[in-house]
């Protein structure tokens, strides 16, 4: 690990200024991902600014929206009674993440900023376009069981690891930030970038800009939501495929629906076509099959991950059967 500076800040504007002034400055709160990345040699900040003293840990519903502060701990949010009652998909996604010990330390903002679990990225001895632009992507022809079948490029097919980000995407969440130019509100769909030719640029954040919170509409969709995670082992494992779904119905007819998928793309994956295949239609086996086909239309599986094409369709059918009461 390379030497680095460390300081604490109790004012958001000061923390932003400190990081913005250093070429490789970084924020830290829980540190459950950043410290591992530093040990692996995947990142090397020259200054780490601790933001745990900032008043950003609240969880509350105001004006029809749930607001979660960036430094709220994952475990606290998962156990919050309002989250469990009105936003069950968030609680389920958080409880499916990591271990109780990690959830008690890791923060909501840090969870959204965590980096891919691609072993080529985490191995400083391997080339990786995400870590060293232009060095190549060994996953394209190497071991790619965990990698993307949607949204990848010839430069990177790593998948985003966050369960929470998938759930938030299904609920049309907004990410609140503060940077050198002031505050911003970014829809989650605009927050994460597809790799294209610049896989090292993963989010829309500017240098020195930090997440201050998240806002989610308090809606009937949010209250009728579920999270399904398919993984190799029951605990402390990242998703092979995951799915957040929110569904409202009148009788057997779907009145509104949201899907977001994890484990299949470099960012939480939304499919407007899959949603449209169900919206306004009876929830029948044929409609579900149509939505599943739309979901994987255009998929580009690789040698070791072609099984994800069928697996994600089965996950969609399972969660719709649960939400539809079948």
Amino acid 2: pLDDT? 87
Would you place residue 230 in the very low, low, confident or very high pLDDT band (cuts 50, 70, 90)?
very high
Q: For the chain, how far is it from start to end, CA to CA, in angstroms?
A: 53
Average pLDDT over residues 140-168: 98
Question: Beta strand 65-69 with 210-217: parallel, antiparallel or unpaired?
Answer: antiparallel
Is the pTM of the predicted complex or chain greater than 0.85?
yes
In whole angstroms, give the CA distance from residue 291 to residue 271.
Answer: 9
Tokens describing residue 197: 């030719």
pLDDT of 126 strictly over 70: yes
Triad 121, 243, 157: Cα angle to 5°: 25
Mean pLDDT across the chain, nearest whole number?
A: 97
Please choose, from the candidates 112, 130, 133, 111, the residue with its C-alpha nearest in 3D space to the C-alpha of residue 120.
130
Average pLDDT over residues 141-170: 98
What is the residue whose two structure tokens read 């580009």?
300
For 77, the enclosing helix (H) or strand (E) is: helix 74-79
**Phi and psi at residue 163, to the nearest 5°:** -70, -40
pLDDT of 325 strictly over 90: no
pLDDT of 234 strictly over 90: no
Amino acid 326: pLDDT? 57
Please choose, from the candidates 305, 309, 255, the residue with its C-alpha nearest in 3D space to the C-alpha of residue 280.
255
In the chain, helix, strand, coil percent, each to 5?
Answer: 30, 25, 45
Conformational region of residue 119, where left means phi above 0, alpha means psi within -120 to 50, and beta covers everything else: alpha
For 212, the enclosing helix (H) or strand (E) is: strand 210-217
Amino acid 235: pLDDT? 84
In whole angstroms, give the CA distance from residue 165 to residue 117.
Answer: 15
**Which residues neighbour 11 within 8 Å (Cβ) at sequence distance 6 or greater?**
54
Q: What is the per-residue pLDDT across 242-295, written as a single tens digit (0 to 9) for each?
A: 999 999 999 999 999 999 999 999 999 999 999 999 999 999 999 999 999 999
Percent of the chain predicted with pLDDT > 90? 98
Please choose, from the candidates 169, 160, 287, the residue with its C-alpha nearest in 3D space to the C-alpha of residue 222.
169
Would you place residue 63 in the very low, low, confident or very high pLDDT band (cuts 50, 70, 90)?
very high
In whole angstroms, give the CA distance from residue 272 to residue 15.
Answer: 38
CA 321, chain centre distance (Å): 24
In whole angstroms, give the CA distance from residue 139 to residue 242.
Answer: 21
Please choose, from the candidates 261, 262, 260, the residue with its C-alpha nearest in 3D space to the C-alpha of residue 239.
262
Q: Which fold has domain 223-323?
A: Enolase-like; domain 1 (3.30.390)
């Amino acid at each position: 690990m390379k030497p680095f500076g460390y300081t604490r800040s109790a004012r958001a504007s000061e923390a932003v200024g400190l990081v913005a002034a250093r070429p490789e400055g970084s924020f830290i709160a829980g540190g459950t991902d950043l410290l591992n990345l530093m040990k692996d040699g995947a990142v090397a900040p020259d200054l780490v600014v601790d933001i745990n003293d900032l008043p950003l840990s609240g969880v509350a519903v105001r004006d029809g929206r749930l607001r979660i502060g960036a430094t709220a701990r994952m475990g606290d949010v998962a156990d919050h009674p309002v989250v469990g009652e009105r936003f069950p998909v968030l609680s389920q996604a958080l409880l499916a993440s990591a271990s109780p010990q990690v959830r008690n330390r890791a923060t909501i903002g840090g969870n959204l900023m965590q980096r891919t679990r691609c072993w080529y990225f985490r191995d400083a001895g391997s080339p990786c376009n995400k870590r060293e632009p232009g060095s190549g992507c060994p996953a394209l022809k190497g071991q790619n069981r965990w990698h993307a079948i949607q949204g990848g490029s010839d430069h990177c097919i790593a998948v985003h690891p966050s369960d929470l980000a998938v759930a938030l995407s299904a609920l049309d969440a907004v990410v609140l930030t503060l940077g050198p130019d002031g505050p911003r509100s970014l829809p989650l769909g605009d927050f994460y970038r597809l790799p294209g030719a610049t896989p090292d640029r993963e989010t829309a954040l500017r240098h020195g800009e930090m997440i201050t919170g998240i806002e989610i509409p308090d809606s009937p969709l949010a209250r009728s939501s579920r999270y399904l995670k398919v993984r190799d082992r029951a605990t402390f494992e990242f998703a092979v495929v995951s799915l957040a779904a929110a569904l409202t119905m009148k009788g057997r007819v779907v009145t509104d629906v949201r899907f977001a998928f994890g484990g299949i793309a470099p960012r939480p994956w939304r499919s407007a076509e899959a949603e449209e295949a169900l919206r306004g239609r009876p929830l029948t086996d044929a409609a579900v099959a149509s939505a599943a086909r739309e979901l994987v239309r255009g998929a580009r599986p690789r040698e070791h991950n072609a099984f994800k094409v069928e697996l994600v369709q089965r996950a969609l059918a399972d969660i719709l059967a649960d939400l539809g009461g079948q």
